[in-house]
Each structure stands twice: as C-alpha cells, then as structure tokens.
C-alpha cells in the first residue's frame, strides 16, 4: 500500500533592486556633484569665504532633500519634480496630443504609429521552414524586432510537477538568451479580451451537416448563441529586439540569414517552457493587432474577417490611431481609453508559480487588458562582476552601525545570488507594465481600483500609475520592440 505524500509547493524569489554603495543614497552623477560641493565648502572654510560656504551648504541640503528622500515606489523628490516639469512642457508644446490621417500632422495623410514607434518600419521575410515572419525596424537605434505568437498550455488540470518543470525550463531559457548575440531585450505580453464567438461560429458552421438531426442542430445553435457571452480570449506575444552593428544590414542576404537562424534558436529553446506552440507572426497579424489595440472598436471587423478566412491587409503606416490625447493619469486613443501602470516593486519574499494569476485573469469592465513582462538579459561576462559589486554594496550596508534586520537579509540574498550565478544561473533585469482599456470612460475609476487590488493580491506586487507617461507606457506594453531604458529615462525595474 502506497501512502500519498503531500509535498510543499515550490517557491521562488531572491529578486532585488540594483544598488550602489558609498554614494549616500545618490546616483553616480549626483554623488560626483555632491563630492565637488564638499570640496568647495572645505576650501571656502579654510579661506573664510563665508558667502561661498553658505551657498555650498544650501545646495548640498537641497540635494539631500531632492534625492535622498524616497516614497514607497522608490522615487525621490527630484524624480517627481522632473516629471511635473516635463508634463507641463508637453502641454505647452502640445506634445501630449496627436492627430493623423488626411487632416493630421502626417503630410501624406497616413495613420502612422505615434511616439516611441513613430519612425519604425515593417519588413516581411521567410524563415528556414518557409514561414512568413515580420521584422520591426527602428533606424534611430538600429533595433530590429521579431515577434512570435504563443498558445500557453495553462495550468488547469496540470500536475504541479509539470508546472515546476515549465518554470525551470523558463529559467534555463533566460540563462540561454543572456549570451544571445546582439539581443537587447525581449517582452512577453499576455492579453485578455472579449471573445466575440466569430471563430467558434465559423468552426461549427463548417462542420455541421444539413442531414444532422434536428435536435443536434438546435443544440449547436444554442451553443453559438450562449457560449460567447462573458467569454474571454487570451493571446500571448513574444517580441525579441536585436541591435545590429552599423553597416550590418547592407548585405540583405546575410541580414535575412541572421534572423532566420534566430527564429530557429528561439522556437527551439522555448520548447518545454509552457508557452505551448510558438509560431512567427506575419505582417498582417501584427498590423491587425496593433490597430485593434489603438482602436478597440475595430476588433469586430478584424474578427469577422478572420472568421471568413480573410485578412484586412493593413499597411504598417495605417495601424496607428487617428487621434490620441495623453492625459496626466489616462490615455485616450480613438474609440478607447486606457490606464497603464509600472511595477515599482516585485513580490516581496517568496512566491509560488501562480503568483501572477490574479493579474492575468479577466477583470470585469476591462475590455482589453495587457500584462507585459520586460526582460533585459545580462551577458554572463558582465553578470559575474555585477553580482560581486552588488554583494559588496549589501555587505557595506549590513555592517553599518545603524544597520537593521532588513539590511542583513539583503546581504544574505546578495550572497545567494552570487552563489547561484557562479553555478550557472542567468541574471536578468526585469519589469512589468499593466494596461487596461475600456470604451466607456465612466468605468475608469472602477477599473483602476480593480487592477490595483489584483496587483496587491498577486504576491503583493506594487503597481505605480504611469503619471504623465501614459502614452509611452501604452506603446511599451505592445510587441513593438520599444526598449524603454534606451528611449526614455526610467528606473530599472529590478534584477533577478
């Protein structure tokens, strides 16, 4: 007789913020200014230049006030002041407004993508298996992005051992892409949206015989009438961004061969990670998805065309919104209005594999919701030095006279990270953006409350509303290859 042995669920954690010791809590540039002021103050003191001494002391006090005091989202007063001033500048110059089309700002009357993706271009080539896939080209940064679609297996009726295996394989994938040539970063986007039932209707009609019993036909018709109500569809997108060397794209054949090999590498290494079947995204599929993201009302037209086995054949220059109005706390675009959040703090402590379920599940009143995980793998040759520096910084804080228990725990976490990296684990910077879209602005307050509550229940994830940067956050959550640290000034999301 074999007894059932219940094992404790496997937990994950040990992520922390990057930190630097010896800068009085300031960044390197600000600390350099602060040290310079200390030198000026000493020289003024020895020479009795009291006015200069007083000025240096006042400036040092202002720096301490602006850059050392932080809120619960780890933002200091200087960050907040810069955000407010930047927002006022946007309003004065009209940069928070966008109009396209025949009466818009584009001289050709196109509906181009705005903001961070304004200069992007779309190419379509074939991989080694003859499958069409698209490449998003951003010439300003020489960034090239390939997009994959996935069908996650889900965890319903799946043994915990299988889930643990998926998580382990995903960790191996993160370690592998750390040494991926020219890879800048990648995103994983999970979107939930209403299911219109158009695909189900097409499938049933194609497989229904006119000779079928009347009861069976009536039953299937009832399924078509009732099943789509309240149902949600889930889609997953993975966007990998590479930075090419100057002149590397002059040889068109070599350029295409490089991305053909990358598609093979990515699809092979993603096997067994729980993402299900992975296929390259074509230009038509990506254009339709981006168009619906900016104009939710177009979803019905796109789904009807897909149900009929057709495509809208949108051009990349027609996927952007006709108009948008980026507000301080929301983003109005065509037929939709959205709110975006950044993750300001990863789950504290240890969590289980289902930690993101509350955020990923459909939310009432939210018509379209995107949860985008942002990864920036660190090459193995840099990771070793980074974990050693981080461990040194943590030890410095833990040995101070006023160190507390949290400083000691951070030092232990840093030592654990250093040991795991030495054993072959990968190191990656990561962040998260959550975007909720509705077509009814009156529901915004309820949506904000619901999403932030889901964040708190998902392993105590702390979400910060993207104040004054709603348009940029919206674009960064889409599979467009927008690498935020190289586009706009933001804080690093974290490090694992």
Segment among 16-20, 367-371, 389-393 with least mean pLDDT: 16-20
Mean pLDDT for 27-37 is 78
95/239: higher pLDDT: 239
Question: What is the per-residue pLDDT for 489?
Answer: 40
Whether 19 has a pLDDT exceeding 70, the answer reads no
CA dihedral 378, 381, 383, 388 (to 10 degrees): -160
Query: Reduced to 3 states, what is the DSSP secondary structure of residue 43?
Result: helix
Residue 66 pLDDT: 78
Model pLDDT for residues 182-238, shown as the tens digit of each residue: 899 999 999 998 776 666 676 677 777 778 888 777 877 777 777 665 567 888 999
User: What integer pLDDT is reported at residue 291 of this predicted model?
Assistant: 94
Task: Say whether pLDDT at 266 is over 60.
Answer: yes
Q: According to the model, what pLDDT value does residue 175 have? A: 84
448-461 mean pLDDT? 86
Residues ≥6 apart with Cβ < 8 Å to 412: none
pLDDT in tens, 125-148: 888 788 889 999 988 888 999 999
C-alpha to C-alpha distance for 454 and 363, rounded to whole angstroms: 9
3 Cβ contact list (under 8 Å, min separation 6): none
Top-confidence residue, 119 or 207? 119
Look at 204 and 315; give whichever has higher pLDDT. Answer: 315
For residue 353, name the pLDDT band (cuts at 50, 70, 90). confident
- Per DSSP, the three-state class of 166 is helix
31 falls in which pLDDT band (50, 70, 90)? confident
Beta-sheet strands, E only, within 205-265: 232-243
According to the model, what pLDDT value does residue 350 have?
A: 79
Percentage with pLDDT > 70 across the chain? 91
**479 has pLDDT over 70:** yes
Q: What is the pLDDT of residue 495?
A: 36
Residue 3 confidence (pLDDT): 52
467, two tokens: 């104040």
399 and 369 Cβ atoms separated by less than 8 Å: no
Q: Residue 25 — very low, low, confident or very high, per pLDDT cuts 50/70/90?
A: low
Average pLDDT, the chain: 84
Residues 6+ apart with CB under 8 A from 146: 133, 134, 135, 136, 239, 240, 242, 259, 262, 263, 266, 280
Rg for the chain, CA atoms, rounded: 26
pLDDT at residue number 248 = 64
Q: Please state the rounded mean pLDDT for residues 31-49.
A: 86
What integer pLDDT is reported at residue 444 of this predicted model?
Answer: 93
What is the predicted pLDDT for the residue at 197? 67
Q: What is the DSSP string of 373-423?
A: EEEEEE-HHHHHHHHHHHHHHHHHHHTSTT--HHHHHHHHHHHHHHHHHHT
Q: Residue 265 pLDDT more than 90?
A: no
Give per-residue pLDDT as tens, 88-117. Answer: 998 999 889 999 888 777 777 788 899 888
Other CB atoms within 10 Å distance of the CB of residue 85:
11
- pLDDT over 80 (residue 453): yes
Report the predicted TM-score, pTM, of the whole model to 2 decimal places: 0.87
For residue range 411-428, list pLDDT tens digits in order: 888 888 888 888 877 788
CB 236 within 8 A of CB 151: yes
Q: Report the sign of the C-alpha dihedral through residues 109, 114, 118, 123, in that order.
A: negative
> Percentage of residues in the chain with pLDDT exceeding 90?
27
């Amino acid at each position: 007789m074999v007894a059932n042995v219940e094992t404790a669920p496997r937990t994950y954690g040990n992520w922390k913020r990057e930190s630097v010791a010896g800068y009085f809590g300031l960044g390197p540039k600000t600390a350099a200014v602060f040290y310079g002021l200390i030198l000026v103050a000493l020289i003024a003191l020895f020479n009795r230049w009291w006015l200069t001494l007083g000025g240096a002391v006042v400036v040092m006090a202002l720096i301490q006030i602006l850059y050392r005091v932080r809120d619960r989202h780890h933002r200091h007063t200087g960050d907040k002041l810069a955000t407010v001033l930047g927002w006022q500048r946007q309003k004065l110059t009209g940069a928070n407004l966008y109009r396209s089309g025949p009466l818009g700002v584009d001289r050709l009357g196109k509906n181009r993508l705005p903001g961070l993706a304004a200069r992007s271009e779309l190419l379509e080539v074939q991989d080694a298996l003859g499958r069409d896939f698209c490449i998003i080209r951003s010439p300003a940064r020489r960034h090239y992005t390939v997009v994959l679609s996935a069908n996650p297996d889900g965890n319903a009726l799946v043994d915990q051992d299988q889930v643990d295996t998926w998580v382990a394989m995903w960790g191996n994938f993160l370690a592998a892409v750390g040494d991926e040539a020219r890879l800048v970063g990648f995103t994983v986007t999970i979107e939930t949206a209403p299911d219109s039932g158009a695909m189900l209707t097409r499938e049933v009609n194609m497989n229904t015989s006119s000779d079928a019993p009347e009861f069976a036909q009536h039953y299937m018709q009832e399924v078509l009438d009732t099943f789509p109500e309240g149902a949600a569809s889930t889609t997953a997108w993975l966007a990998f961004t590479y930075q090419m060397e100057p002149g590397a794209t002059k040889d068109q054949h070599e350029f295409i061969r490089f991305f053909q090999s990358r598609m093979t590498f990515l699809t092979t290494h993603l096997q067994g990670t729980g993402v299900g079947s992975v296929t390259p995204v074509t230009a038509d599929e990506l254009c339709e998805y981006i168009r619906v993201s900016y104009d939710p009302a177009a979803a019905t037209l796109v789904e009807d065309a897909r149900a009929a086995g057709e495509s809208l054949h949108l051009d990349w220059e027609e996927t952007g919104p006709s108009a948008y109005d980026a507000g301080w706390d929301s983003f109005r675009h065509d037929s939709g209005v959205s709110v975006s959040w950044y993750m300001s703090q990863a789950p504290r402590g240890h969590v289980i594999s289902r930690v993101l379920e509350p955020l990923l599940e459909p939310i009432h009143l939210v018509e379209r919701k995107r949860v985008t995980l942002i990864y920036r793998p660190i090459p193995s040759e840099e990771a070793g030095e980074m974990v050693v520096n981080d461990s040194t910084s943590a030890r410095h804080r833990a040995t101070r006279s006023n160190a507390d228990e949290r400083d000691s725990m951070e030092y232990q976490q840093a030592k654990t990270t250093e040991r795991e990296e030495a054993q072959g684990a990968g190191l990656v910077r990561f962040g998260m953006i959550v975007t909720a879209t509705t077509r009814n602005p009156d529901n915004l307050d309820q949506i904000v409350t619901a999403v932030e509550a889901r964040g708190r229940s998902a392993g105590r994830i702390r979400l910060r509303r993207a104040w004054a940067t709603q348009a940029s956050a919206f674009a960064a959550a889409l599979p467009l290859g927008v690498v935020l640290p190289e586009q706009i000034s933001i804080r690093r999301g974290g490090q694992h």
